[in-house]
Structure 1
Amino acid sequence: MPSQNEQSTPGWQFAVTSGILGWVLDAFDFFVVIFLLDALAAHFHVEKSAIVWTISITLAMRPVGALIFGALADRYGRKKPLIACVVYFSAATTLSAFAPNYILFFALRALYGIGMGGYWGIGASFAMENAPRERRGILSGMMQGGYPFGYLLASVGMMTIAPHFGWRAMFIVGSFVAVAIVILTVLSSESEAWKMHRMGSIGSIFKTLLQHKRSFFYLLMVMAVMTCLSHGTQDLYPDFLKTLPSIKHALVLGVQPLYGIPILYNIGAIVGALFFGQISERIGRRYSIIAALVVSLLSIPAWAFGGSMAILVLGSFMMQAGVQGAWGVIPAHLNELSPDSVRSLFPGVVYQLGVLIASPAVSFEFLLRDHFGYPWALTLFEGVVIVALIFVFAFGPEQRGRSFRQQ
């Protein structure tokens, strides 16, 4: 492992906190729509499927945002594009609350998708480049753990904010966090790594991207299969819970299992991201990810076939601890494998294109359900995905602890 005698960037805590909070806010603003499907459909007088399409357009626009904001961050620095991205997607979210019709709401969610896709690449590079090298693992886990934390906050907000202030408040409340992120970013130092490797033009940035095709396509494959891992364990699981008659009349944390179980497994996701991010500093990025994947693989019987509430809670908790444990290492791992001069564009684009490529995965998993039933569909799909990922990481590259400031 390389020597770690570089001085920490002054104010690195501000940079890392802004990166983490931005990803929390991004997730919160995304999952708000998922919780409001019925309310939005009734308000705009459309079918629920029409609101689902606004989720699809949000996801489809994410690679566009990764290209735009990633290139800007590699050309002009991390701070200004990060502030612009946060203000942009927060404005699109706030305006969504006041959309007078479905068409405008659809357009605003598409615009939000550009911001959502643009944020991760900038936020991750800004956080990882400013973070002390020996703390990248735990801080990587904290950043990626911000996604399930945002999901968790959205579910809590639906039980606390929406009943008192209405559904529109769910689109507005995040703007206060956006202001905090802007202030933290202003207080942060610009990335020294970016200053050392800055490119002279947008054209040269994209040329550099094309010069690293081998790494690009490897990481694109990684992110596509990693997306199958997360969405394959999350998106249909609440619907699977609805099919279990044994838990219909039970309570979890005083609420219905449909809400209580996801709250618990999102806590597991946050714990997993922090734990495996931290141990990646000791055992390496790949081995930490593989260990997390093994936890998920061993959780499948309880997760998919649990015959009681306790077993289902334990299985889903451990499954998401493993899934997000693997994801918790990704910000550090991707940034360490990315070319220095395109560290915002490169990981951001492979991340968001991976999401786009893997987008049909849940539909395929649902098709398996029609043939084999939910338990076996979940088992077959995720079993193949997890085993494939273990092989991909076992034979893949790693540059743990790599300096971002070497010419």
Structure 2
Amino acid sequence: MTYSFISAPGGPRPADRTTRPFDWFRTLGATGRRAFFGAFGGYGMDSYDFQVLPLALGAIGSYFAIGTGRSGLLTTVTLVVSALGGAIAGALADRIGRVRTLQVTIAMYAVFTVLCGLAWNFESLLAFRALQGLGFGGEWAAGAILVAEYARLEYRGRAVAYVQSAWAVGWALAVGVYTLVFQLFDERVAWRVLFFTGALPALLIVWVRRSVTDAPAATERRASAAERGRFDAIFRRDLLRTTVFAALLATGVQGGYYTLATWLPTYVQKTRHLTVVGTGGYLIFVVSGAFLGYVCGGILTDRLGRKRNIQLFAVLSVVFMVSYTRIPQGADTLVLVLGFPLGFATSAIFSGFGSYLSELFPTAVRGTGQGFTYNFGRGVGAVFPTAVGYLAGTSLGLTGAMLFGAVGYALAVLALLGLPETRGRELV
């Protein structure tokens, strides 16, 4: 397979390197910078609308009188359906464009997050959360590809990593709103109010519609390709190995991550016995570490390579996960402090994903390939939170059950053995 460089309009060639910290942003060009803000905002609000569930999970469990197994099912269903939504959105991105797909997915997750706040029983909440997953799963693929196709080759890893860092920003916003809402309202009402705030992303759609466009060079290549948006194309002989191992990689990383994202709030509330304010304070440490992890991971993925970055932080994620669950009762300060490196490692591993998957697939099926593999991993990785929920009801308890997430990171390291390094690879 051959690759040729797609530069931002008017941008210099990769050989013209500079050393200023934000050259990755400057070299996007005016249209590329608008695309970045659209993708950043979309992914940040995607994170916000996802995180309101884990934050409210304890209150939801009490309100509907459900155990940890059924509580975990809410996250699992969201992620399983998001796999379908992500695959569909990836194909749509190849057919109707990255920006139009971005608008559709943002609208989907905003509407159904609000409807979750109107749920009258567990089954209705499960249904609304599943439908929210359709939009939640698709946004990342469209946004990451949009920015990757504008970015200069040598800055692609960090440019897409900054889009990924929006997850931490959305998470931080959710934690702040959660802390405020649960202080102002009784928890029987507060979880509904928290879901109602999921309407915020709708405001972003108007701006994206007016200000953001697809990368011209990528649009021309996509439009001229006969196989654009076809799922069978990513299973053809020359792409089959890539598709399979990329899907396994995404499964491992997301299985480990969603174990932590789903159960950490409940863990610090029920096992560590922290108050709402204490939980919010703890999560700020994790989120701060996550933001810096995304940013630093983006720099490292350009310097070390895509594979080495993932390998490094897979190992560190397991180390910090095990260490965290071994903190003795009463050591609340250590709970706060160790949350920072835990958030750093489990987020930095994602920094190279957007650029890596973009580089593994050609333009005509880039959305399809990235959308399918990333969201296949999300769907299968969704089994992890439910498994942890049921294991928590055994002698392992929630503390021991959370270590199941380490299995995911081990799978990710093994999957990398079947994939090439793509640092420096140009896009076609």
TM-score exceeds 0.5:
yes
Does structure 2 retain, via aligned residues, the 8 Å contact 1:128–1:335? yes
Does structure 2 retain, via aligned residues, the 8 Å contact 1:138–1:277? yes
Aligned position for 2:332: 309
Letter of the aligned partner of 2:102 in structure 1?
Answer: L
Query: Which of these residues, 185, 190, 205, is aligned with residue 230 of structure 2?
Result: 205
SS in 2 for 1:232: helix
2:24 matches 1:24: no
Cα pair distance change 1:395/1:178, threshold 3 Å: same
Deviations 1:315-356 (A, max 9, x none): 332122111111122111111112321212211111111122
SS in 2 for 1:398: coil
Deviations 1:237-295 (A, max 9, x none): 34444565xx64x78xx932x43322211211111111111121112111222232343
2:318 matches 1:291: no
Does structure 1 retain, via aligned residues, the 8 Å contact 2:90–2:142? yes
- Which deviates more, 190-199 or 25-34? 190-199
Query: Which of these residues, 188, 210, 213, is aligned with residue 212 of structure 2?
Result: 188
Q: Aligned ranges for residues 96-245 of structure 1 at < 5 Å?
A: 96-98=116-118, 105-161=125-181, 164=184, 167=190, 168-191=192-215, 192-198=217-223, 205-211=230-236, 212-241=239-268
Aligned position for 2:362: 339
Letter of the aligned partner of 1:47 in structure 2?
Answer: A
2:346 matches 1:323: yes
Q: CA deviation at 1:15?
A: 0.7
**Percent identity at matched positions?**
22
Deviations 1:95-153 (A, max 9, x none): 44445676655443332111111212111111221233333222322222222332322
Does structure 1 retain, via aligned residues, the 8 Å contact 2:248–2:411? no
Could you tell me how far apart the structure 2 residues matched to 1:213 and 1:33 are? 35
Deviations 1:61-84 (A, max 9, x none): 112212322222101211222112
Letter of the aligned partner of 1:205 in structure 2?
Answer: R
Does structure 1 retain, via aligned residues, the 8 Å contact 2:165–2:295? yes
Q: CA deviation at 1:301?
A: 5.2
- Which deviates more, 208-217 or 84-93? 84-93
Could you tell me how far apart the structure 2 residues matched to 1:174 and 1:202 are? 36
Aligned position for 1:261: 282
- Which deviates more, 389-398 or 328-337? 389-398
- Which deviates more, 346-355 or 301-310? 301-310
Could you tell me how far apart the structure 2 residues matched to 1:203 and 1:301 are? 44
Does structure 1 retain, via aligned residues, the 8 Å contact 2:291–2:344? yes
SS in 2 for 1:401: coil
Q: Aligned ranges for residues 13-52 of structure 1 at < 5 Å?
A: 13-37=33-57, 46-48=64-66
Q: CA deviation at 1:161?
A: 4.3
SS in 1 for 2:149: helix
Q: CA deviation at 1:236?
A: 3.2
SS in 2 for 1:400: coil
Letter of the aligned partner of 2:203 in structure 1?
Answer: V
Cα pair distance change 1:22/1:314, threshold 3 Å: same
Does structure 2 retain, via aligned residues, the 8 Å contact 1:10–1:189? no
SS in 2 for 1:60: helix
Letter of the aligned partner of 1:157 in structure 2?
Answer: V
Q: Aligned ranges for residues 71-110 of structure 1 at < 5 Å?
A: 71-98=91-118, 105-110=125-130
Does structure 2 retain, via aligned residues, the 8 Å contact 1:75–1:200? no
- Which deviates more, 18-27 or 98-107? 98-107
Aligned position for 1:354: 377
Could you tell me how far apart the structure 2 residues matched to 1:176 and 1:363 are? 29
Could you tell me how far apart the structure 1 residues matched to 2:182 and 2:322 are? 36
Cα pair distance change 1:213/1:182, threshold 3 Å: farther
- Which deviates more, 360-369 or 289-298? 360-369
Letter of the aligned partner of 1:230 in structure 2?
Answer: Y
Unaligned runs of 5+ residues in structure 1 are none
Could you tell me how far apart the structure 2 residues matched to 1:24 and 1:204 are? 26
Could you tell me how far apart the structure 2 residues matched to 1:37 and 1:260 are? 18
Does structure 1 retain, via aligned residues, the 8 Å contact 2:294–2:347? yes
Does structure 2 retain, via aligned residues, the 8 Å contact 1:337–1:398? no
Could you tell me how far apart the structure 2 residues matched to 1:343 and 1:70 are? 8
Q: Aligned ranges for residues 61-72 of structure 1 at < 5 Å?
A: 61-72=81-92
Does structure 1 retain, via aligned residues, the 8 Å contact 2:76–2:385? no
Could you tell me how far apart the structure 1 residues matched to 2:103 and 2:363 are? 22
Q: Aligned ranges for residues 370-381 of structure 1 at < 5 Å?
A: 370-372=394-396, 377-379=401-403, 381=404
2:14 matches 1:4: yes
Cα pair distance change 1:195/1:164, threshold 3 Å: farther
Q: CA deviation at 1:222?
A: 0.3
Cα pair distance change 1:91/1:359, threshold 3 Å: closer
Aligned position for 1:275: 296
Does structure 2 retain, via aligned residues, the 8 Å contact 1:144–1:328? yes
Could you tell me how far apart the structure 1 residues matched to 2:57 and 2:297 are? 34
Aligned length: 396
TM-score normalised per structure 2: 0.80
Q: CA deviation at 1:219?
A: 0.5
